[in-house]
Chain A
Amino acid sequence: MADIEQILNGDRGDVARLAADAAQVPDFDSLARRGRGRRTRRQAGALAVAALAVAGIVGVVQVFGNGDGDVRPGPAETPSQTPSQTPTEATDGPGQAELAAVVDSDATRMLAMAVTPGDPERMAVLWQWEDQRWVLAWTVDGFATRSLRAVPSGSSLTPAADGAFVLREGWEGAVLRLIDGDGLSDPVAVSEKVEPVGAGEVPVVLAPEAGGTQVIAVAADGTGHPIPVRAGLDSIQAFGNRLAGFAYGDGVTYHWSDDGGATWQDADPGPGEYPPLVVQSAIGQDHAIIEGGDGATLFPFVAIRTASAAAPEQWTRTEAEKVGDHVTIGGAWNEDGEIRVLASRWNDKDRLVDAGVWRVVGGSLEKVASNPPEITDHPDVAPFAFEYVDGPVVWVLGNKTGEVWRTTDGGATWERFAAR
């Protein structure tokens, strides 16, 4: 009988060397696009929150409005396609059967979604089949009927006013279009005038560039303009009319604007184990950031930093309580003053202990019972989209491809919706 030491120590390293020789090297540019897309999707997802918030409170003119009370944008001036009455509408590009096969496949995956605030029947979803093939599916009737269209990889979605959506085409996002029940518009006409987000406008984040990130406010009439954004600001996101982002230099500086970019404030949360995760907090709510270690993959719960809305320069750091296991965070939001997270708890043998919705109490987590529990009580639980309509609305992917669930009560109950 052979000795295990002989087996393990014989030709040490040969397995790795020969496996390396046999490895197929992928195209780096493709990987880089995937990475950039993920970064962009994170930002787009966060900005979708802002968009939903803006669109959801278009009457609150003191925030983004001009005070005249008439916040409904006029009709779109740009031409749009004529919709068909068939369950799956015809568009140009690849054939509808081909697009439908992509969207309806169990092997496809959802990349992003946007919902009209308070009207989940109006939904737009980006689906991916393989790396370069993205399909946009949108509906105005809960996917009883739908429209399909091939879109460039890297595209993103933002809810706009009047039940429309903004499609940012491709990684660079040089072209923005409006989508509604009539189809896709011509490219949004973006002026050069820089001004804050106005009434009925939604902020759309473009891809980060060397000098910072550009954000375009888009109106439902197909026009847009840049908004003021501090140079070097990255990871821009928004929620409940608050724009927030980080600048990375020697440390991390947190920036936010509660007036559509007209003015920005900043604060240094202090040294910690970053990158940070912003707890989605609406205008007027306290600020909170979760530290996530090196952020290499799963986001560990290291510590939480909070600052009151009244004194945002004074931050308090609370380390995560060590209870013999570790926690990975999928996302966090402010639920009526209480911080809630979607998170998984693992033991020291890397076995899942528990997962789902939790409230953060000091540095510890208290489980929030969810119904049905299987929607959130699994190791990959994470927010798929946020919405703000008189409070946070959180969306997650279902356990079956093609369904999404939302909660409007902080994760206690979840409601299913079709996504294709």
Chain B
Amino acid sequence: MDGPHDRLADDPIRRCFDVSYRRLVGQLYGVCGSLTEAEEAVAEAFARAVAARRTFERVDEPEAWLRTVAVNVARTRHRRRLMGDRLHRRNGGPTDERLPDLTDDRLTLVAALRSLPQQQREALALHYLADLPVADVAETLGVPVGTVKARLSRGRTALAAVLGTEATVNGGSRG
């Protein structure tokens, strides 16, 4: 007879959690610009998977489903935070100082992404920082591939302006 630990190990959400949690946090880090926010968004995605277990167990690619949920959670929280910042006249930006072991240049890049419009930030972060193919980014964001490419293009230009670098027109994406 299976014991409780065996049953836990058989839980597809638990298995996915063990395999995918860290990877998803890594992918969400660039989207959120904050390690803590990325962790919270991914944790919330798993909680929603438990809440919608039947839906989750029917999806073909659980990690992709979780990534979409986490991005949506991050987006919603970002809106709420902006609203809260406006209401309380706070300055936006992450309040936690826990950082990945990145070079200063990469940290600057992540910080610069936060200043971009949400759609461009999400596309750039998922494609370049998380190294997802354009098709996967499109699936995650629920938009056509062409839309992602357009956001990447506009995002590169906007990011170059923020970083004070030069943009290459129509380049960079390996789709």
Contact = CB atoms under 8 A, between A and B. Distances in A.
Contacts of B100: 15, 18-19, 21-22
A20 B22 contact: yes
Given A15-B102, A16-B131, A35 B51 contact: yes
Contacts, number: 166
A30 B79 CA distance: 26
A16 B30 contact: yes
A234 B137 CA distance: 34
Contacts of A193: none
29 contacts: A5-B156, A5-B171, A5-B172, A7-B163, A8-B128, A8-B172, A15-B110, A15-B130, A16-B30, A16-B131, A18-B101, A19-B30, A19-B100, A21-B100, A22-B99, A22-B101, A23-B22, A25-B21, A25-B22, A28-B14, A28-B17, A36-B51, A38-B47, A39-B50, A294-B59, A297-B69, A297-B72, A297-B73, A350-B119
Given A5-B172, A11-B106, A297-B48, 11 more contacts: A1-B165, A3-B166, A3-B168, A15-B100, A18-B102, A21-B22, A21-B26, A25-B22, A34-B50, A35-B47, A297-B69
Interface string B26-50: 1101100001001100010011111
A79 to B, nearest CB: 36
Interface of A: 1-5, 7-9, 11-26, 28, 31-32, 34-36, 38-39, 42, 234, 248, 275, 294-298, 349-350, 352, 378-380
Interface in B52-98: 52-55, 59, 65, 68-69, 72-73, 75-76, 79-80, 83, 98
Contact of A9 (B49, B159, B164, B172): B172
Contacts of A21: 22, 26, 100-101
A2 B168 CA distance: 11
Contact of A35 (B50, B59, B102, B163): B50
A1 B50 contact: no
A25 B21 CA distance: 7
Given A13-B129, A19-B38, A297-B69, A8 B51 contact: no
Contacts of A234: 54
Given A7-B165, A22-B98, A350-B118, A16 B27 contact: yes
B102 to A, nearest CB: 5
Contact of B119 (A39, A297, A349): A349
* Pairs A-B, 3 closest by C-beta atoms: A35-B50, A20-B26, A13-B131
Nearest to B49: A35
A4 B51 contact: no
B134 interface: no
Contacts of B106: 11, 14-15, 18
B132 to A, nearest CB: 9
